[in-house]
Amino acid sequence: MRPIKVTTRQIVDRIMKHKVVKIEHLARHFDCSAWTLFNKLKEHEYYTSYNSRGQYITLEDTPTFDDMGIWKYKQAMFSKWRNVEETIHHIVDMSQAGLTPGEITKILRIRTHNQLVKCRRKGTLVSKRYGGNMVYYSTDEETQRNQIKKRESELKAMKSKPLSNKTIIDVLLAIIKHHEIKPENIVSILTSQGKEISERSVQWVLEEYELKKRTFSRSP
């Protein structure tokens, strides 16, 4: 007997039933290739996850995106703008004070270093360094002007209300002990120790003590 060919309706029903499906599981279930699945779905709108190497798929009307255009379902992450570069571009545009790499990572829940480099090279984002930290802004002049004004106003306000000596010492010790100067990584280190601190507070310490971004060499 010839094997029964999978229909588009069967694939769609299967995805609808589970909301989000791993593509390899879907292909295994229907005993077909991923290419066959996508070929059958070419007349249907769908999203593939921007994390996990795009292994998850969901139908267009399934996600309930948040204000940033992000939807998380279990371990799968989806974006209204589909790919990571476009997503970064849009969330930076929508932000009130630009976004640091750490703030972008917190929103998307993935590392975005390579994509940020590409955005910078393509000119889809503008970057400005403050101490040891980079902030990404919109390329729209009016939006960018407002974002920079708000970011620098927040940094100025932070300087007028300095952190406690204990918090400053915690940040400096984390830098020395872990040979680390990226604000987002310092926040992770201190958070794991049960110490709450914002990325902007770490940024303030880096600027106050003129700690520029550099590579720390470890002792032998």
Amino acid 212: pLDDT: 63
From 1.10.3720.10, 3.30.70.20, 3.40.50.720, 1.10.10.10, which CATH number describes the 84-157 domain? 1.10.10.10
Provide the token pair at 38: 């996508």
Region label for 129, one of left (φ > 0), alpha (ψ between -120 and 50) or beta (otherwise)? beta
From 1.10.3470, 1.10.10, 3.40.50, 1.20.1340, which CATH number describes the 8-79 domain? 1.10.10
- 8-79 matches 84-157 in fold: yes
Percent of the chain with pLDDT over 70: 93
Cα–Cα distance measured from residue 111 to residue 109, given in angstroms and rounded to the nearest whole number: 7
Interval 149-170 mean pLDDT: 86
Query: Looking at per-residue confidence, does 198 or 61 come out higher?
Result: 61
Least confident of 14-18, 156-160, 180-184, 197-201: 156-160
pLDDT band at 2 (very low <50, low <70, confident <90, very high): very low
Cα–Cα distance measured from residue 140 to residue 57, given in angstroms and rounded to the nearest whole number: 33
* Residue-wise pLDDT tens digits, 187-214: 889 989 999 898 888 888 887 787 765 5
Tokens 């267009």 label which residue? Answer: 60
Q: Decide: helix, strand or coil at residue 22.
A: strand
Amino acid 136: pLDDT: 97
Return the bridge partners of 128, or none: 135
pLDDT band at 4 (very low <50, low <70, confident <90, very high): low
Amino acid 219: pLDDT: 44
pLDDT band at 220 (very low <50, low <70, confident <90, very high): very low
Region label for 100, one of left (φ > 0), alpha (ψ between -120 and 50) or beta (otherwise)? beta
Query: Looking at per-residue confidence, does 46 or 178 come out higher?
Result: 46
pLDDT band at 25 (very low <50, low <70, confident <90, very high): very high
Amino acid 215: pLDDT: 44
For the chain, the domains span 8-79, 84-157
